[in-house]
A and B are shown apart, each in its own frame.
Chain A
């Protein structure tokens, strides 16, 4: 092999604490190195040109670039060497920026370490084999999981772009959290008025198949060729017949069912339609409260239903959908604040969450849009809002800012003054974070035009005083303790990933952070992608987001799916596991440990051996670590390559 080594300065990013010329000089004497030099910016056009020219001039057959993390630029340089006629996998990268120059100041030691990393890359390259991708066809359908605003936007954009869409929603209606909101900041326009038309579009779009009251149980396959197993939970109503007339709701004798849509601010009937604009507008029975399921006697709904749609005997249905891409848009849920004893932890009926307050403000809510205390139904005279509950609180394991609470608190404060003009409104805050377009102006309006009293400080305790509550906290600007007597307290509880998000992440083979939010491919440059090809993210499932950002990411994820399908065929990554049948004893350990089901035992030439399904293998390497006799090797990271790297590093 004739190896070329190119050591990048990365401006001063590397050159400030590493001597690239000295590294190149040391590389010159490494085995099979035919040419070594340093470059100012290897990734820039002149840098890439220099590499291409050197490959021709020195008849190089393999290239090492010592520069930055391969996550960003390995694809760049693979294309560069391919342009010069080499196989793109006869290329290795030594990361002398993140692993060397950025983390140490001793230039001499850094230069030695950079040289060691280059020597490792050279030793690995000497054992590289040319690899070739396989091409395979794709199914041009998209599965969108979650029918909140992000999922709705993603589904509509995909469908408009000509893709068939399968939209799966866990609840009985799409709309998500946005459907529960009364108004939206900073324009204070009606949430359901702007969301409603989009929901109707979903229902009417010929390319969108909606599975409501359904969950994805399993995702198998690979990018372009996934199979999703979806459990459609029994609504106990034949939705093909149900017209959504609501006659059953009016007559249902079980009127004390948990009302999830109204955030448990009220009660509903055992057979129910979540809200008037629900999509699909179909009734479903909650068997936990239905008298027929509890006692076997009742069936009023079945008698009353003009469409004869009630089906008590209905069972869950499993459908399998074949799709080429998946967009996860499972959103968020409010964090569990029951551990906040000093705020009552849920014991006080008039201390409620912001989302519950939205339902009290909403005309479709249990109070018809009248702001009243849940305890006694009286209109509150003083309302206190507390921000940053279960946000920015490292002591409770929730260090991050949920982002949108400052804005919705201001909106709710304004709406409170609108609904009850003689009320007093106080907001306890840490800082006000309002970086969006027209956001800070909105906060100013709340203070200046609506007379909302902002108190900078945290609350230490809420306790009862007769029928009212005393909110005790600090006013850090005045340097004093304050006590406010309130009729109603609204907590801006922070967001965490939706319940069950972690389980879904495992089914989708994507990773998640310690709050359950799905991990994006790159925090800045790949916000819609995951590390699993063909699985994209939209909305708050990736991190707390307000509506505009969720919509933007929904459209972005749709664009990613459309880009993926713009080509009729896909190519696999050839850096996958490969079985050497001569060494395989068919013990089956690899089959048992493969998280992707990419391995089988097959009969070949009269003997049993393991076999890798190339398109399914993700190259994770678990099988290669499991195989005791080393019969499975990860192409491009074989045992011998790793051992050669170790030997290059540990020279005695």
Chain B
């Protein structure tokens, strides 16, 4: 069976397959809710398929009308799904994971910078190691390796290890070649933390001044599960004012990062979704590093693990509370 046949076969057991389909132009792919077999023919799953579909799962599972839900996922997306399973926000028995060997996702900002004409392109496709863009009667050959999202370059896990398939979850693997693993770690963050606190504060003031409070970062985040009750738009509790101030904008980012402490899988969706190009993922990366140092825990790696901030321990091994 080829991949399309595999997916069609999966759809026979599920009411919907979350996948990617054609977007507004040849360079972009959009989320596709495939319900009929012929929808599967439209699926796009190369480097252009950038969104994590995990964010759709918790609300979709709320619907009684849905049967089993199948979702196309890169290994990084599986971590988010595992984290949702850990928090019991989605039912494992109704989920079918369709995992693709990952070749990375494009960083659209890099593509646009390398090829400004891509705004009005005629065609875009992957040819071997290159992304080919036809626009303005010309052709651009962009080396794929240089066009990938920074998260993909670091990604230590483009192929999903068997051990990471969530317990009790039906998992179907698609055929294909994964890219070579990256080194992981926190190199980008460590470089940023070299700056003085004053420099970092100036950086964030500068970056957040561009924020338009669209909350795309929140809406793209698979772990943001408050649905219509986000504190960002609540009067009671009234954490954020409606002022167009950097402090309010940054406060939201800080709230987001703390709500993700021990839950963020580092998928990079928040940074990808930001229309203003603000690297908001950096704040969560710092939180992830703290959680890893303090609790030895990385979110979404083990469906049976207890997230360290979602439990109560009177004595934490690495927190000196009693001065001992």
Contacts and interface: CB of A to CB of B under 8 A. Distances in A.
B142 interface: no
A130 interface: no
A587 B89 contact: yes
Contacts of B237: 630, 633, 638-640, 643
Interface string A618-636: 0000100010111101000
B276 to A, nearest CB: 24
A95 interface: no
Contacts of A639: 237-239
Interface in B74-115: 87-89
Given A506-B314, A585-B226, A585-B227, A643 B88 contact: no
A583 B238 contact: no
Interface of A is mostly: loop
A177 B245 CA distance: 66
Given A514-B324, A589-B310, A506 B315 contact: yes
Given A514-B322, A589-B87, A629 B312 contact: no
B65 interface: no
In this complex, the member of A587, A588, A631, A633 whose beta carbon has the largest number of chain B beta carbons within 10 angstroms is: A587
Contacts of A585: 225-227, 229
Contact of B231 (A513, A514, A588, A630): A630
Given A587-B87, A589-B87, A643-B239, A630 B311 contact: no
Nearest to B89: A587
Contacts of A502: 315
B88 A629 contact: no
A593 B306 CA distance: 11
Contacts of B88: 588
Contacts of B89: 587
Nearest to B235: A640
Contacts of A592: 306, 310-312
Contacts of A368: none
B242 interface: no
B230 to A, nearest CB: 6
B231 A628 contact: yes
Interface residues of B, number: 25
B259 A628 contact: yes
A628 B310 contact: no
A434 interface: no
Contacts of B87: 587-589
Range of interface residues on A (Cβ < 8 Å): 20 to 34
Contacts of A482: none
Contact of B225 (A587, A594, A595): A587
B236 interface: yes
Contacts of A622: 312
A595 B312 CA distance: 6
A583 B229 contact: yes
A630 B322 CA distance: 30
A643 B238 contact: yes
Contacts of B230: 629
B256 to A, nearest CB: 9
Contacts of A643: 237-239
Interface string A507-535: 00000011000000000000000000000
Contacts of B311: 592-593
Given A514-B322, A587-B87, A630-B237, A593 B310 contact: yes
22 contacts: A506-B314, A583-B234, A585-B229, A587-B87, A587-B89, A588-B88, A589-B87, A592-B310, A592-B312, A593-B310, A595-B314, A622-B312, A626-B309, A628-B231, A629-B229, A629-B230, A629-B231, A630-B231, A630-B237, A631-B229, A633-B237, A643-B237
Interface of B: 87-89, 225-227, 229-231, 234, 236-239, 259, 306, 309-312, 314-315, 322-324
